[in-house]
């Protein structure tokens, strides 16, 4: 299976290269970059020294699947033609995530270059859309925050334990902000500090809302992301009022809640309902999403905490998981790595 990567030079792109280098069935044959075009992959990324591919401006080989780690709009522009030629596409950008075109164009302040493809695209939160992903030619890989938040909340919403009326407090490592330079990711500014950002509205909000929408109930989601002084990891702390009577009272409530979550994710290779609140470190470098649901009996609120590696389950890992499905491979192929601890 021949693979191309568009824009390998960011963190999502290089993480794709790292994962695919270990994949037994996929072979990277062409990778692109912009400023780095003309260099070799090994020059730009010493950790990929074994991968001696040139970085080119365009995909220069025939490929079976293309991953795009380009910025929005540029990504759709590049992915559209591949898809139309029958090449399978996993787009890590936001371009095909939102089903509602005006919403996309409003949040991203651009005109969509291929609006007609939105219908074909499948939102690649694998656990919620597995069958569609398997049949898809164009997968919109979810944002990192929505991956953690939706996996944390979907079981409770779908079981009717809560309404989709939630607060999501997201805490992300700095690699989520990419490899582009900015004062907000300058070491001395970020280190030893925590802050909220995008308090007026983060672009991942409409994804969360879209995925928690069901049966005509319009979600009411407050999402506030925070930047944490670490490289990788997202912890999503989610809060919602419990629907009265949805769970048994007293001590049985927690057990019933766990049962709902365990049922929902039974058999999942990557989503694990855990016994203790997870540390993001427990997912470092692997494709797991660890979910811990809890009840606050003093307030009858649900609290769910989930942990992922933003570059793996939140980006490149999930993309490969989706690729596996699209090609009929075992879903976990190339993704069995244990987390790196400590």
Active-site residues: which are they?
144
- Cα–Cα distance measured from residue 107 to residue 105, given in angstroms and rounded to the nearest whole number: 6
Cβ of residue 311: shortest distance to a second copy, in angstroms?
A: 8
Binding string, 43-82, against a second copy, x = CB under 8 A?
Answer: --xxxxxx--------------------------------
Q: Which is nearer to a second copy, 135 or 340 (CB)?
A: 340
Q: Which is nearer to a second copy, 187 or 267 (CB)?
A: 187
Q: What is the DSSP string of 64-87?
A: SEEEE-PPTTHHHHHHHHHHHTT-
Interaction of residue 299 with a second copy, rule CB under 8 A: yes
SS3 assignment for 107-147:
HHCCCCCCHHHCCCCEECCCCCCHHHHHHCCEEECCCHHHH
List 84, 106, 296, 332, residue binding a second copy (CB under 8 A): 296
Q: How many CB atoms lie within 10 A of CB 102?
A: 9
Binding string, 258-287, against a second copy, x = CB under 8 A?
Answer: --------------x-x-xxxxxxx-xx--
Q: Which is nearer to a second copy, 138 or 157 (CB)?
A: 157
Number of residues that bind a second copy (CB under 8 A): 80
- Cα–Cα distance measured from residue 296 to residue 26, given in angstroms and rounded to the nearest whole number: 46
Of 202-221, binders to a second copy (CB under 8 A) are 205, 220-221
- Cα–Cα distance measured from residue 251 to residue 215, given in angstroms and rounded to the nearest whole number: 31
User: What are the two backbone dihedrals, phi and then psi, of residue 260, each rounded to the nearest 5 degrees?
Assistant: -60, -45
Cβ of residue 163: shortest distance to a second copy, in angstroms?
A: 12
Binding string, 158-197, against a second copy, x = CB under 8 A?
Answer: ---------x-x-x-xxx---x-xxx-xxxxxxxxxxxxx
CB 293 within 8 A of CB 307: no
């Amino acid at each position: 299976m021949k693979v191309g990567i568009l824009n390998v030079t960011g963190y999502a792109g290089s993480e794709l290269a790292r994962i695919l280098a270990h994949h037994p069935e996929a072979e990277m044959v062409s990778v692109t970059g912009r400023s780095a075009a003309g260099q070799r992959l090994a020059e730009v990324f010493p950790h990929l020294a074994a991968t001696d591919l040139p970085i080119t401006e365009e995909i220069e080989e025939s490929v079976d699947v293309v991953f795009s780690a380009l910025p929005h709009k540029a990504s759709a522009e590049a992915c559209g033609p591949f898809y139309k030629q029958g090449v399978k596409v996993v787009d890590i950008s936001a371009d095909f995530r939102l089903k509602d075109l005006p919403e996309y164009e409003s949040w991203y302040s651009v005109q969509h270059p291929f609006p007609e493809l939105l219908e074909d695209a499948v939102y690649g939160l694998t656990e919620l859309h597995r069958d569609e992903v398997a049949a898809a030619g164009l997968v919109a890989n979810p944002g990192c925050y929505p991956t953690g938040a939706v996996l944390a909340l979907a079981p409770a919403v779908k079981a009717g334990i809560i309404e989709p009326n939630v607060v999501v407090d997201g805490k992300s490592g700095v690699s989520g902000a990419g490899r582009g330079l900015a004062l907000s990711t300058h070491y001395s500014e970020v280190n030893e500090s925590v802050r909220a950002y995008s308090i007026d509205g983060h672009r991942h909000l409409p994804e969360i809302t879209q995925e928690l929408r069901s049966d005509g109930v319009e979600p009411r989601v407050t999402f506030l992301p925070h930047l944490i002084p670490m490289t990788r990891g997202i912890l999503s702390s989610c809060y919602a009022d419990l629907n009265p009577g949805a769970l048994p009272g007293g001590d049985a409530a927690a057990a019933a809640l766990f049962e709902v979550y365990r049922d929902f994710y039974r058999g999942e290779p990557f989503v694990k309902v855990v016994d203790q609140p997870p540390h993001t470190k427990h997912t470092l470098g692997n494709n797991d999403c660890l979910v811990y649901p809890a009840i606050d009996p003093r307030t009858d609120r649900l609290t769910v905490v989930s942990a992922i590696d933003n570059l793996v389950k939140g980006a490149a890992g999930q993309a490969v998981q989706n690729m596996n499905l699209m090609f009929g491979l075992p879903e976990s192929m190339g993704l069995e790595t244990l987390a790196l601890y400590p």
